[in-house]
Homo-oligomer: A and B are copies of this chain.
């Protein structure tokens, strides 16, 4: 996926870091910190201060020389970059299983201007009920409801086997973007952004990092032992 901001190309890694800066700024605001330097933010994120300044520069975010960035102002500006303000992003969830229910119940997403308006499922026992305040519809009604409610984002928490069909339905309904938790790569028209979050992949990745870290620790240990032997 290629993303732009104004006329600049933005890498997905940069977008991720921007979202993380926002998270840190929320924390700093909570702590009543009024200004923050690129160095401090860099230390929090585990990146270099130059990286932070470069990122901000890309989006035209400026600080004060000598003191740093104003926390509240920076936070507001980054929120704007992420589309906060105009109106709330209406979301729906497809698949009212335990993960779907957990996502809808979690209020943290609402903090950033997202709002669940509908849930869909195939289980007749769930259809017609509510999750919190969100009504559960039949998947057959997906298109109608999305169009009627002007839902922008479809969150897929369905089994891998239904992923393809549900993605097609969402696209036909005119969804603007898809957040896919189903463990399958889905194909949609290039005009509709898809972000896939595969939780089992995160476990695999962590396992790889652990092995890599422990391997390096062992090698370092061996190095130390070899050196002390040589003396």
Complex CA distance for A177 and B54, rounded to whole angstroms: 30
Name, among A1, A13, A46, A193, the residue most crowded by chain B CB atoms within 10 Å (CB to CB).
A193
Instruction: Decide: B212 and A192 in contact? CB cutoff 8 A.
Output: no
* A108 in the interface (beta carbon within 8 A): yes
Instruction: Decide: B153 and A23 in contact? CB cutoff 8 A.
Output: no
Chosen A-B contacts, 11 in total, with CB atoms closer than 8 Å, are A4-B215, A19-B198, A19-B204, A23-B184, A23-B198, A23-B201, A44-B185, A99-B106, A109-B199, A192-B213, A197-B199
Complex CA distance for A112 and B217, rounded to whole angstroms: 25
Instruction: Decide: B112 and A212 in contact? CB cutoff 8 A.
Output: no
* A49 in the interface (beta carbon within 8 A): no
Name, among A198, A204, A214, the residue most crowded by chain B CB atoms within 10 Å (CB to CB).
A204
Q: Quick check: which of A65-73, A81-89, A142-150 contacts chain B, the rest being far away? A: A81-89
Chain A at the B interface: mostly helix, strand, loop or mixed?
helix
Given known A200-B111, A210-B193, contact A205–B89 (CB-CB < 8 A): no
* A61 in the interface (beta carbon within 8 A): no
* A152 in the interface (beta carbon within 8 A): yes
Given known A109-B200, A214-B176, contact A208–B99 (CB-CB < 8 A): no
Per-position contact with B for A16-52: 1 when CB-CB < 8 Å, else 0? 1011101110010000000000000000111000000
Point out the residue from B3, B24, B205 that lies within 8 Å of A195, measured CB to CB. B205
Complex CA distance for A190 and B20, rounded to whole angstroms: 19
Give the number of times this chain occurs in the complex, counting copies. 2
Given known A112-B200, A216-B4, contact A210–B152 (CB-CB < 8 A): yes
Chain B nearest Cβ from A28, distance in angstroms = 11
Per-position contact with B for A149-193: 1 when CB-CB < 8 Å, else 0? 000110000001000000000000000111100011100000111
Chain B nearest Cβ from A82, distance in angstroms = 5
Point out the residue from B5, B153, B178, B199 that lies within 8 Å of A106, measured CB to CB. B199
Chain B residues closer than 8 Å to A193, beta-carbon distance: 206, 209-210, 212-213
Chain B nearest Cβ from A165, distance in angstroms = 15
Chain B residues closer than 8 Å to A45, beta-carbon distance: 185
| Chain B residue at smallest Cβ distance from A113 | B207
